[in-house]
């Protein structure tokens, strides 16, 4: 689409087209958003944040929005025309969750959009549904918490019921509520890790200030900063020069619990885009070597691009499938990082489409894949060496469940994390050798890590 044509589209129309791509055609939310915002050069900074909020918010609240719409429309959401269903979802999101937009403007804009895109005959329907919802100050009738706990949580926190059922088996009710609520916390800051091989925290803070990027300290680690006030990451010069990388503090902990020593040889078996491997290379202080692997050329290129940007000499990226035994690596590594593909339910606050795309069956398949990879790559650890197993999920089966299975079947023992974690970080299982970070409790992504020592 040309810039002139793009400029004729309102922010709402752009947001709606993005939502249709994601919800009707299955594209990933962050890919689709980034792609569109990059091409729509006529948009102001304000337009961009409005579109982002509208798309991410509508996705985050999808189950709640559909539940409310179904209470006001004879035609159920799934039977509506795709354009109309997404127009209603997006407009309802503004009515319910964006105070700064007056209700009448939301309804008028929705009617206009329906007409513009060839649905004039349905503009009365769109207007009726939205105005009825806006007029009903009492709101919708939700399932009762005391009677239908799972359904209540699913509708209120817009999270598929199977996830709620699973979490209620693994955690107490209050913890589950905290985890669910944490998805909707405002994401004001992006967490970054300072590349200490290129600058100190103070130097980077100063440079970012010169670029009008605000920084505050991370929650737990001195190499972590939280930043805001930029339009997109690529436009920050300090980023392009590899002075920092984007990484959640949960992931930074991997470098610490690995207990890296100078000259270590480290294999990261599932490495793209390279966050943990690059941190490991930095901790090696120019010595040793990190070999980071992934399964496709595309993923390996992503790692290589990050290696180039961060400018570290002791790391390389190669294409290797972690399910296939690499004879040359047997008993070679001081440390193996196994940050494996997982259900990703610890990061649904950042990537809301994960919760709708993941299923019980896919999750079961992932447990199998994780075990298959662990069986193969544990062979690469030297006798007495370390295997770090991690995932960005909160499901017990994929985390502690797998560790229990692994230690029963392979010659490894969990080893204490005492002295390896930041003092400030609450961790009751430190001594046991693993840590489950929980959104809403730890102010990080939901993340699991375990330190396993191979028997000598
Ligand atoms: C959780 S991500 C890794 C994140 C990475 N460790 C980091 O810190 O940036 C999991 C990665 O595993 C890769 N993967 C999936 N199946 C694989 C396989 N059979 N062999 C190697 N890598 C695989 C995916 O492509 C994905 O990049």
Pocket test for ligand 1, best of 294, 326, 375 (most atoms within 8 A of CB): 294
Kind and range of the H or E run holding 45: helix 45-60
Please state the domain count of the chain: 4
Kindly indicate whether the ipTM for this predicted assembly is greater than 0.90, answering yes or no.
yes
- Residue 280 shares a structural domain with residue 212: no
Mean pLDDT along residues 304-328 = 97
Is residue 141 in a domain? no
Among the atoms of ligand 1, which is closest to the Cα of residue 274?
9
Q: Are 338 and 402 in contact (CB under 8 A)?
A: no
Mean pLDDT along residues 266-291 = 97
252 falls in which pLDDT band (50, 70, 90)? very high
- Residue 116 shares a structural domain with residue 216: no
**Residue 11: pLDDT above 90?**
yes
- Residue 259 shares a structural domain with residue 123: no
What digits encode the pLDDT tens for the residues 138-167?
A: 778 889 999 999 999 999 999 999 999 999
1 falls in which pLDDT band (50, 70, 90)? very low
294 lines ligand 1 (CB under 6 A): yes
- Residue 245's CB is within 10 A of a number of other CB atoms, namely 21
What digits encode the pLDDT tens for the residues 32-67?
A: 998 998 888 888 888 998 999 999 999 999 999 999
**Residue 13: pLDDT above 90?**
yes
Q: Closest by alpha carbon to 455, among 420, 412, 414?
A: 412
Q: Are 113 and 12 in contact (CB under 8 A)?
A: yes
- Dump the DSSP string for 108-120: HHHHHHHHHTT-G
Is residue 206 in a domain? yes
| 281/289 Cα distance (integer angstroms) | 7
- Residue 445 shares a structural domain with residue 367: yes
CATH code where residue 343 lies:
3.40.50.150
Sequence ranges of the binding site for S-adenosyl-L-methionine: 294, 321, 339
- Residue 122 shares a structural domain with residue 174: no
| 54/12 Cα distance (integer angstroms) | 8
What digits encode the pLDDT tens for the residues 236-246?
A: 999 999 999 99
What digits encode the pLDDT tens for the residues 397-406?
A: 999 999 999 9
Q: What's 380's DSSP letter?
A: G
Strand partners, 217: 225
Phi, psi of 278 (to 5 degrees): -65, -35
Is residue 143 in a domain? no
- Residue 355 shares a structural domain with residue 269: yes
Residue 326 vs residue 39, higher pLDDT: 326
Residue 230 vs residue 367, higher pLDDT: 367
Last residue of a domain, one of 246, 271, 288: 246
- Residue 410 shares a structural domain with residue 390: yes
Is residue 372 in a domain? yes
Residue-level pLDDT at 364: 97
**Residue 168: pLDDT above 90?**
yes
- Residue 210 shares a structural domain with residue 285: no
Q: Are 303 and 371 in contact (CB under 8 A)?
A: no
293 falls in which pLDDT band (50, 70, 90)? very high
Last residue of a domain, one of 222, 246, 270: 246
CA of 13 from ligand 1 middle (Å) equals 35
Which residues span the domain enclosing 77? 3-135
- Residue 325 shares a structural domain with residue 197: no
273 lines ligand 1 (CB under 6 A): yes
- Residue 117 shares a structural domain with residue 202: no
CA of 341 from ligand 1 middle (Å) equals 6
- Residue 393 shares a structural domain with residue 275: yes
Residue-level pLDDT at 8: 64
**Residue 263: pLDDT above 60?**
yes
Q: Which two tokens stand for residue 337?
A: 């990082």
Is residue 127 in a domain? yes
**Residue 4: pLDDT above 60?**
no
Among the atoms of ligand 1, which is closest to the Cα of residue 337?
6
Q: Closest by alpha carbon to 24, among 90, 99, 113?
A: 90
Q: Are 393 and 342 in contact (CB under 8 A)?
A: yes
Is residue 17 in a domain? yes
Pocket test for ligand 1, best of 247, 256, 266, 270 (most atoms within 8 A of CB): 270
SS3 of residue 193 by DSSP: strand
Q: What percent of the chain has pLDDT over 90?
A: 88
- Residue 70 shares a structural domain with residue 177: no
Among the atoms of ligand 1, which is closest to the Cα of residue 254?
8
Is residue 142 in a domain? no
Note the pTM of the prediction, 2 decimals. Answer: 0.93
Is residue 203 in a domain? yes
234 falls in which pLDDT band (50, 70, 90)? confident
451 lines ligand 1 (CB under 6 A): no
CATH code where residue 201 lies:
3.30.70.1170
115 lines ligand 1 (CB under 6 A): no
Residue-level pLDDT at 100: 79
307 lines ligand 1 (CB under 6 A): no
| 180/75 Cα distance (integer angstroms) | 29
Last residue of a domain, one of 198, 213, 246: 246
| 307/4 Cα distance (integer angstroms) | 38
Mean pLDDT along residues 424-449 = 95
346 lines ligand 1 (CB under 6 A): no
CA of 338 from ligand 1 middle (Å) equals 9
What digits encode the pLDDT tens for the residues 360-392?
A: 999 999 999 999 999 999 999 999 999 999 999
Classify the C-alpha dihedral 72-75-76-77 as positive or negative: negative
**Residue 90: pLDDT above 70?**
yes
Does the annotation count 427 as an active-site position?
Answer: no
Q: Are 231 and 213 in contact (CB under 8 A)?
A: no
């Amino acid at each position: 689409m040309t810039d002139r044509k793009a400029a004729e589209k309102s922010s709402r129309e752009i947001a709606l087209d993005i939502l249709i791509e994601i919800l009707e055609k299955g594209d990933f939310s962050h890919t689709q958003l980034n792609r569109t915002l990059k091409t729509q050069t006529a948009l102001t900074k304000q337009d961009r944040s409005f579109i982002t909020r509208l798309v991410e918010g509508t996705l985050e609240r999808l189950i709640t929005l559909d539940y409310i719409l179904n209470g006001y429309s004879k035609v159920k959401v799934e039977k509506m025309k795709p354009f109309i269903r997404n127009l209603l979802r997006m407009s309802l999101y503004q009515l319910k969750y964006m105070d700064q937009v007056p209700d009448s403007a939301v309804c008028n804009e929705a009617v206009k959009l329906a007409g513009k895109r060839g649905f004039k005959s349905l503009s009365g329907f769109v207007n009726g549904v939205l105005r009825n919802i806006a007029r009903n100050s009492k709101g919708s009738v939700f399932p009762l918490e005391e009677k239908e706990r799972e359904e209540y949580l699913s509708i209120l926190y817009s999270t598929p019921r199977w996830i709620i059922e699973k979490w209620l088996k693994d955690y107490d009710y209050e913890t589950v509520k905290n985890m669910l609520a944490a998805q909707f916390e405002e994401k004001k800051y992006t967490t970054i890790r300072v590349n200490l091989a290129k600058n100190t925290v103070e130097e980077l803070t100063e440079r970012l200030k010169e670029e009008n990027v605000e920084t505050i300290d991370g929650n737990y680690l001195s190499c972590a900063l939280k930043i805001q006030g930029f339009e997109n990451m690529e436009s920050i010069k300090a980023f392009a020069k590899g002075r920092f990388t984007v990484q959640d503090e949960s992931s930074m902990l991997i470098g610490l619990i690995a207990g890296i020593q100078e000259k270590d040889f480290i294999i990261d078996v599932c490495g793209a885009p390279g966050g943990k491997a690059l941190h490991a290379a930095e901790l090696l202080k120019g010595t040793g070597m990190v070999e980071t692997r992934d399964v496709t050329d595309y993923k390996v290129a992503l790692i290589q691009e990050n290696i180039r940007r961060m400018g570290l000499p002791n790391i390389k990226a190669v294409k290797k499938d972690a399910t296939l035994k690499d004879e040359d690596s047997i008993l070679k590594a001081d440390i193996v990082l196994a940050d494996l593909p997982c259900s990703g339910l610890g990061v649904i606050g950042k990537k809301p489409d994960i919760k709708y795309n993941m299923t019980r069956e896919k999750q079961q398949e992932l447990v199998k894949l994780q075990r298959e990879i662990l069986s193969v790559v544990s062979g690469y650890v030297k006798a007495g060496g370390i295997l770090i197993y991690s995932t960005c999920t909160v499901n017990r089966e994929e985390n502690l469940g797998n560790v229990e299975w692994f230690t029963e079947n392979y010659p490894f023992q969990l080893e204490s994390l005492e002295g390896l974690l930041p003092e400030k970080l609450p961790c009751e299982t430190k001594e046991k050798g693993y840590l489950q970070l929980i959104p809403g409790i730890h102010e990080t992504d939901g993340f699991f890590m375990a330190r396993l020592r191979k028997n000598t």
